[in-house]
Protein backbone atom coordinates (compact mmCIF):
# COMPACT_ATOMS: atom_id res chain seq x y z
CA UNK A 1 0.00 0.00 0.00
CA UNK A 2 1.43 3.39 -0.98
CA UNK A 3 1.51 6.48 1.17
CA UNK A 4 -1.28 7.95 -0.95
CA UNK A 5 -3.41 4.86 -0.39
CA UNK A 6 -2.84 5.08 3.37
CA UNK A 7 -3.49 8.81 3.27
CA UNK A 8 -6.79 8.28 1.45
CA UNK A 9 -7.69 5.54 3.93
CA UNK A 10 -7.30 8.04 6.77
CA UNK A 11 -4.28 6.39 8.38
CA UNK A 12 -2.58 9.74 8.96
CA UNK A 13 -5.66 11.39 10.46
CA UNK A 14 -6.21 11.30 14.20
CA UNK A 15 -9.29 9.49 15.45
CA UNK A 16 -9.29 11.63 18.58
CA UNK A 17 -11.71 14.53 18.89
CA UNK A 18 -10.43 17.99 19.66
CA UNK A 19 -11.72 18.63 23.20
CA UNK A 20 -13.28 21.98 22.31
CA UNK A 21 -16.67 22.75 23.77
CA UNK A 22 -16.63 19.78 26.12
CA UNK A 23 -17.49 20.49 29.75
CA UNK A 24 -14.57 19.37 31.94
CA UNK A 25 -12.15 20.67 34.50
CA UNK A 26 -9.21 22.76 33.33
CA UNK A 27 -6.68 20.01 34.08
CA UNK A 28 -8.65 17.36 32.21
CA UNK A 29 -9.16 19.70 29.25
CA UNK A 30 -5.44 20.50 29.14
CA UNK A 31 -4.53 16.80 29.33
CA UNK A 32 -6.92 15.93 26.50
CA UNK A 33 -5.46 18.72 24.36
CA UNK A 34 -1.97 17.39 25.03
CA UNK A 35 -3.04 13.85 24.11
CA UNK A 36 -4.61 15.13 20.88
CA UNK A 37 -1.48 17.09 20.00
CA UNK A 38 0.76 14.07 20.74
CA UNK A 39 -1.37 11.92 18.46
CA UNK A 40 -1.20 14.55 15.71
CA UNK A 41 2.60 14.72 16.07
CA UNK A 42 2.87 10.92 15.96
CA UNK A 43 0.84 10.73 12.76
CA UNK A 44 2.80 13.59 11.18
CA UNK A 45 6.09 11.78 11.88
CA UNK A 46 4.67 8.51 10.53
CA UNK A 47 3.61 10.27 7.31
CA UNK A 48 6.99 11.95 6.95
CA UNK A 49 8.90 8.71 7.59
CA UNK A 50 6.72 6.77 5.15
CA UNK A 51 7.13 9.42 2.45
CA UNK A 52 10.92 9.38 2.93
CA UNK A 53 10.97 5.57 2.71
CA UNK A 54 8.73 5.45 -0.35
CA UNK A 55 10.92 8.00 -2.14
CA UNK A 56 14.12 6.32 -0.95
CA UNK A 57 15.58 9.49 0.54
CA UNK A 58 17.05 10.34 3.92
CA UNK A 59 19.49 12.65 5.59
CA UNK A 60 19.85 16.41 5.83
CA UNK A 61 18.88 17.13 2.21
CA UNK A 62 15.66 15.14 2.57
CA UNK A 63 14.88 16.94 5.82
CA UNK A 64 15.52 20.32 4.17
CA UNK A 65 13.33 19.39 1.19
CA UNK A 66 10.55 18.30 3.57
CA UNK A 67 10.83 21.56 5.52
CA UNK A 68 10.64 23.59 2.32
CA UNK A 69 7.58 21.64 1.15
CA UNK A 70 5.96 22.06 4.57
CA UNK A 71 6.62 25.79 4.75
CA UNK A 72 5.28 26.39 1.24
CA UNK A 73 2.22 24.11 1.33
CA UNK A 74 1.12 23.29 4.90
CA UNK A 75 -1.92 25.53 4.57
CA UNK A 76 -3.12 23.31 1.70
CA UNK A 77 -2.83 20.08 3.66
CA UNK A 78 -0.55 17.08 3.84
CA UNK A 79 -1.29 15.92 0.32
CA UNK A 80 0.06 19.17 -1.13
CA UNK A 81 3.17 18.88 1.06
CA UNK A 82 3.78 15.34 -0.21
CA UNK A 83 3.25 16.39 -3.84
CA UNK A 84 5.81 19.19 -3.64
CA UNK A 85 8.24 17.10 -1.59
CA UNK A 86 8.18 14.41 -4.27
CA UNK A 87 9.03 17.05 -6.87
CA UNK A 88 11.95 18.23 -4.73
CA UNK A 89 13.15 14.64 -4.35
CA UNK A 90 14.15 14.69 -7.99
CA UNK A 91 16.82 17.21 -7.02
CA UNK A 92 18.27 15.22 -4.11
CA UNK A 93 18.31 11.67 -5.46
- How many Cα atoms occupy the beta-carbon half-sphere of 70 within 13 Å? 11
Q: What is the pTM of this model?
A: 0.85
Q: What is the mean pLDDT of residues 8-37?
A: 81
pLDDT tens per residue, range 39-84: 999 999 999 999 999 999 999 999 999 999 999 999 999 999 999 9
* CA geometry: angle 66, 6, 13, nearest 5 deg: 75
Rounded Cα–Cα distance for residues 31 and 17 (Å) = 13
User: What Rg value do the Cα atoms of the chain yield, rounded?
Assistant: 16
- Tens of pLDDT, residues 25-37: 667 778 888 999 9
Amino acid sequence: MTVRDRFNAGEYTTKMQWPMGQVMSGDLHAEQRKAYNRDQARLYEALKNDVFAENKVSGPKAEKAWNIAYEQFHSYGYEAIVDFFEELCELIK
